[in-house]
Structure 1
Amino acid sequence: MELEVMDRNEQTYHENSSASEDEDDDEEEAVEWSKDELDAISALFDRPMRQKPPKPPNPVRQRPLPLPLPHKTRLPNAPAPKQHIRLAARAALSSRSSFSDQVCKNPEVLIGIAREIAALPPESDVSIVLDRWVRFLRKGSLSMTIRELGHMGLPERALQTLCWAQRQTVVPLFPDDRILASTIEVLARFDQLKMEDALEQCVPSASRAVLEAMVSGFIRAGKVGLARKLLEFATINKRTLSPSVHVKLMLEAVRTPEGYGLAAALLDELGERPELHLRQQDCTAVMKVCVKLRRYAAVESLFGWFRDTGGRPTVVMYTAVIHSRCRDGRHREALSLAWEMERHAGGLLDLPAYRVLVKLCVALRDHERGVRYLATD
């Protein structure tokens, strides 16, 4: 009985499997494409794809191009071949040297070099800093660096910078009077210029800038005698120095009553010059020296000369002349000059001017005017 059941099940399984195979064959026969259908599908792929039409331009966003101007459309005359080559070479050189020119003339960079040198350890040499900047430096560039080292109180570093500049051969930085003058002024200011015995030999050969720097250094060091000796040597050798040097020495001499004689001698020498070229601040400084020396006529002479040469007096110069007239007892003339000063200054006076005006009002017993000046002060 069991064998009959198994035979029956096996027969059923074979019938089902044969039926499924027949269905798969029918599906394979159904999947087959005809030639017309394949040609239709191929034609669809051969047809170009339909593109979207481009959008029209927005008239608001699109602006019309400007019409060319007649004077712009004309072609310039062609330069000559030599001129064209020179212009091209000049443009190339300017583009290459523009950065170097900016560095070698930039005060911030040159002062920054001085600060880097000041930050070096005492045993280090200045070449550690200067070698990095040598390709950007030119003659005269280091003069500001040396002066800044002098302001920092580092004369040894200033001298080392000068020695480093003397050793440069790829980019020649020396001889240069500006670097030498700056170094000499710094060394003389800090009493490290041992030239008391060599002044007479130095004056004939040194340039004017170097001599003036040496005098300025001696003056700032308080060595009035050495500065005066150098001026005498310059006069003997017929070397004419700037009047500003005489003015600086006069201002330093009148700091003490012992120097009034030297200041008076320098004032006489300055007046004996055939041509006097004084800057505005130098002229005002000489006026102040004359007031201390009680040479009030010289103040009036300088004031008239400055006006005749086309100069416009400042409030400081007006104040010096008013103070001179007050000291000389000419208070009415001082008051008229005070009114002139107020007109030219437009009421913008400084504190020393108000002080002189208050003293003038006290001398004139004009207390009401003095109170107004005092309230403004």
Structure 2
Amino acid sequence: MYSLRLHPRLNSIPLSSQKQVGSISRREASKLKPADASEYRRSNRFTVRSGIGRGVGYIRSQTKGKEPVNVASLRPLPLPSPHNIRPPRLPRPSIRRKLAAVGSNQHSNHQVVKFVKQLATQIQSLPDDVPVSELLDEWVWKLKRGALAPAVTELGRMQLTERVLQLFACLQQQPHLWPDDVTLSAIINVMVETGEVEIAAQLQRDVGRDSPRAAQALASSLAKVGLLEESVQVLNYMINHGWNVDGFAYSTITHWACRAGARDFARRLWKNVNMSDIKWKLHDYTSIMASCSKLGLYDPIDRLYQEFTHSGLKPNIILYTTLLSVLSRQSRYREAVALFWEMEEAGCEPDLMAYEVMLDVCTKLEDLTKALKVYRDLKNAGYTPTPSFYNKLIQLLVNKGSLSKARGMTREMSSRGYTPSAETLSRLSLVTP
């Protein structure tokens, strides 16, 4: 009798438990007629003699007419990682190693500054008859070019100008430390701040005559001590020699002119300035615009903005906010609204100050719809309204007759711990029945 070979795991099953189901012997098969035999084969009931499992024909009948399943598609392979698609034997950059290197550099720089400040303290404690060179010769091998600038600044705070000049004389005798524009600029700054303007000017003329950095340091220091006209003369000297002046020098002069209230000086300065002679940076524009706005000079701001549009620099939120404040002070409210829309279209998200300026513009225009939109945008951006923001919005709601919204805004303001101003309370009391 024919039977299929059992699986090895089934050999342990005793024969008594193997039932003979659906199987025939050779003698029984020979007695079948051809039609019966073909019908039997089509029935696909030929199984193992022991009755365990079903035949291959049964499996084929169950999967007939169906598409074969791609086993690989059931579980897609993971995408290759970047380190696997790199060319072989190519070094892989180490992020940890790079971060460690940056941290070590920052640590070493901090150690150098700390050491130089300690050196200044040791110079201070030297007796008057001991020159600085005796102390500096012990540590000069450890210094790099520009490293003595913090020591010069520290000695300037101690009012030790003689020690600064001795340090400068020692510095010139070290080939690996001189020339040094950074330390020379620090020395000029210290001399101007301590009242030694003539020495600072002589250092710039004799030692730093070929150094634009030293000349700009002299101009900025002169403006800081109130010598505005002299600082402009230094900048004119640089322009006459064909040097490009950084916008930082002009922003420093304008800033100190604003603090001194020298409005006429600032007007004359920006009336005669040629914008093409200045090497601009973005923060220079914003600083000068803010100073001119405080002085009430709006013509230089328009010139600066025109120059900025041709500079190719990308505006940031500080520049937009400064321009919004300037337009609001000039009562150019429509232009301020247009600039706010331009800022949003440029993808520059407003900050809290920009929202406050826009609410002030909407208050001046008495546009309640835009004011409420500014309030919603501020909340959606994650900012918390300031007390001045609440007061302006509540007063606008009262003026427009939206008393219920005004009371609700007052309750919200109180829940945040803010107290409405006296003007806001008086307006609410006038309309409260």
**TM bucket, shorter chain:** 0.5 to 0.7
**Which letter does structure 1 place at the counterpart of 2:232?**
R
The equivalent of 1:82 in structure 2 is none
Runs of 4+ in 1 over 4 A off after TM superposition: 124-129, 148-157, 195-204, 232-240, 342-348
**Which letter does structure 2 place at the counterpart of 1:245?**
A
Counterpart of 2:168 (choices 162, 168, 171) is: 162
TM-aligned CA distance change 1:314 to 1:238, over 3 Å: closer
- Correspondences of 1:186-205 after superposition (within 5 Å): 186-195=190-199, 205=209
The equivalent of 1:43 in structure 2 is none
| 8 Å CA contact 2:270, 2:300 repeated in 1 | no
- Correspondences of 1:286-325 after superposition (within 5 Å): 286-325=288-327
Counterpart of 1:110 (choices 105, 109, 112) is: 112
| 8 Å CA contact 1:296, 1:325 repeated in 2 | no
The equivalent of 1:267 in structure 2 is 270
**Which letter does structure 1 place at the counterpart of 2:359?**
V
Moved more, 353-362 or 280-289: 353-362
Compare relative contact order (CA 8 Å, sep 6+) and give the higher one, 1 or 2: 1
- Correspondences of 1:111-260 after superposition (within 5 Å): 111-120=113-122, 121-124=124-127, 126-127=132-133, 130-147=136-153, 149-150=155-156, 155-168=161-174, 172-195=176-199, 205-235=209-239, 240-257=244-261, 259-260=262-263
**Equivalents in 2 of 1:267, 1:319: separation in Å?**
22
For the pair 1:376 / 2:379, whether they are aligned, the reply is no
1:52-75, Cα deviation, whole Å (9 max, x unpaired): xxxxxxxxxxxxxxxxxx976xxx
**Which letter does structure 2 place at the counterpart of 1:267?**
W
Counterpart of 1:337 (choices 336, 339, 342) is: 339
| 8 Å CA contact 2:113, 2:147 repeated in 1 | no
**Equivalents in 2 of 1:338, 1:314: separation in Å?**
12
| 8 Å CA contact 2:267, 2:297 repeated in 1 | no
Give me the identity figure in percent. 26
For the pair 1:280 / 2:277, whether they are aligned, the reply is no
**Equivalents in 1 of 2:301, 2:180: separation in Å?**
39
The equivalent of 1:366 in structure 2 is 367
1:170-215, Cα deviation, whole Å (9 max, x unpaired): x542233332222112211222332498599659945222211111
**Equivalents in 2 of 1:251, 1:289: separation in Å?**
6
- Following superposition, the deviation at residue 281 of structure 1 comes to 0.5
Unaligned runs of 5+ residues in structure 2 are 1-86, 90-103, 387-433
* 3-state secondary structure, aligned to 2:315: coil
1:148-184, Cα deviation, whole Å (9 max, x unpaired): 554676555443332221243xx54223333222211
**Equivalents in 2 of 1:191, 1:249: separation in Å?**
18
State which structure, 1 or 2, has the greater radius of gyration over its C-alpha atoms. 1
* 3-state secondary structure, aligned to 1:248: helix
**Which letter does structure 1 place at the counterpart of 2:268?**
A
**Equivalents in 1 of 2:343, 2:158: separation in Å?**
40
* 3-state secondary structure, aligned to 1:133: helix
1:303-326, Cα deviation, whole Å (9 max, x unpaired): 343234332211111111112212
Unaligned runs of 5+ residues in structure 1 are 1-69, 73-101
Q: TM-score, normalised by structure 1?
A: 0.60
| 8 Å CA contact 1:114, 1:146 repeated in 2 | no
TM-aligned CA distance change 1:362 to 1:375, over 3 Å: farther
Q: CA RMSD in A?
A: 3.8
TM-aligned CA distance change 1:114 to 1:193, over 3 Å: farther
**Which letter does structure 2 place at the counterpart of 1:143?**
A
**Equivalents in 1 of 2:333, 2:137: separation in Å?**
64
Pairs aligned (count): 274
The equivalent of 2:32 in structure 1 is none
- Following superposition, the deviation at residue 116 of structure 1 comes to 0.8
- Following superposition, the deviation at residue 375 of structure 1 comes to 5.1
* 3-state secondary structure, aligned to 2:137: helix
The equivalent of 1:84 in structure 2 is none
TM-aligned CA distance change 1:348 to 1:208, over 3 Å: same
| 8 Å CA contact 2:149, 2:182 repeated in 1 | yes
The equivalent of 1:60 in structure 2 is none
| 8 Å CA contact 1:284, 1:320 repeated in 2 | yes
TM-aligned CA distance change 1:144 to 1:108, over 3 Å: same
- Following superposition, the deviation at residue 349 of structure 1 comes to 0.8
- Following superposition, the deviation at residue 111 of structure 1 comes to 1.4
- Following superposition, the deviation at residue 254 of structure 1 comes to 2.0
1:28-60, Cα deviation, whole Å (9 max, x unpaired): xxxxxxxxxxxxxxxxxxxxxxxxxxxxxxxxx
TM-aligned CA distance change 1:320 to 1:154, over 3 Å: farther
**Equivalents in 2 of 1:292, 1:156: separation in Å?**
40
1:83-137, Cα deviation, whole Å (9 max, x unpaired): xxxxxxxxxxxxxxxxxxx99x953233113321343253345456533431132
* 3-state secondary structure, aligned to 1:194: helix
**Equivalents in 2 of 1:122, 1:367: separation in Å?**
68
